[in-house]
């Protein structure tokens, strides 16, 4: 059962990424959808799951504080580490290009780390029971397609090439498989997993609201990109709700 699920989440991510790669000329619309999907994952998947797993141990206030901390940490990394030379007069075009690629790779790394946690969640849930594992696996499958789109979008919009995007897509596709396998060797308590999910929710809020949304409508009509963002949020809400039925 776990083998079939591992293959399924991998394929779903790859299909989403291939979809984004082949519609590169419509990147602004894909970025808009991706922004909504990333924010939707944070609102409708990561935060509710975090509260379910850890609210009795840490409390909702603490978990939301961790989410805010994740937003702030990503902000600091983005402003002072990933693009630390962006406003320097001596900053040449080559250096700016490298900084954008670095930023894209960090975003893709965050998405891949989230996918790894998805795999851990699947593996641990099957240790509880097959029924619980099946529900969690369905929820992961529901948004893995958008995970592939989001990963490719993060690389392409930050001046990365198709080859780099493909490499990160493969990384993101294999990450949940690695997470599933990893649960055979260690145990993460539900409260600890809840804290991690809250932290990643903060990361995703920043990626979506401060990065993908502004980039999606830059030099493009806001009407269609805004519609794409709303569609991304609605789509993630729908699939996550359906997966939880």
- pLDDT, tens digit, for every residue of 196-221? 889 988 988 988 888 778 867 765 67
pLDDT band at 68 (very low <50, low <70, confident <90, very high): very high
At 89 the pLDDT is: 45
* pLDDT digit string, tens, across residues 35-58: 888 898 889 888 998 999 899 999
Average pLDDT, the chain: 81
CA Rg value for the chain? 18
Answer whether residue 232 shows pLDDT above 80: yes
Residue 124: pLDDT band by 50, 70, 90 thresholds?
confident
pLDDT computed for residue 45 by the predictor: 84
Q: pLDDT at position 85, please?
A: 42
More confident: 138 or 197: 197
pTM over 0.75: no
């Amino acid at each position: 059962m776990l083998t079939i699920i591992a293959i399924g989440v991998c394929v779903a991510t790859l299909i989403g990424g291939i979809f984004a790669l082949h519609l590169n000329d419509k990147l602004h619309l894909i970025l808009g959808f991706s922004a909504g999907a990333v924010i939707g994952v944070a609102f409708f998947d990561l935060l509710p799951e975090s509260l379910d797993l850890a609210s009795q141990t840490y409390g909702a206030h603490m978990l939301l504080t961790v989410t805010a901390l994740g937003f702030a940490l990503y902000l600091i990394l983005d402003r002072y580490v990933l693009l630390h030379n962006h406003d320097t007069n001596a900053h040449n075009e080559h250096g700016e290009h490298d900084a954008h690629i670095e930023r894209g790779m960090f975003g893709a790394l965050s998405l891949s780390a989230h996918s790894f946690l998805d795999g851990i969640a699947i593996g641990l849930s099957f240790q509880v029971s097959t029924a619980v594992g099946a529900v969690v696996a369905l929820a992961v499958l529901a948004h893995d397609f958008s995970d592939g789109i989001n990963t490719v979008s993060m690389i392409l919009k930050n001046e990365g090439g198709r080859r780099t995007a493909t490499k990160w897509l493969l990384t993101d596709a294999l990450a949940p498989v690695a997470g599933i396998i990893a649960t055979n060797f260690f145990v993460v308590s539900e409260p600890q997993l809840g804290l991690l999910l809250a932290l990643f929710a903060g990361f995703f809020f920043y990626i979506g609201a401060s990065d993908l949304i502004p980039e999606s409508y830059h030099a493009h009509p806001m009407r269609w990109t805004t519609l794409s963002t709303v569609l991304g949020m609605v789509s993630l809400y729908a699939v996550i709700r359906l997966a939880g039925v």
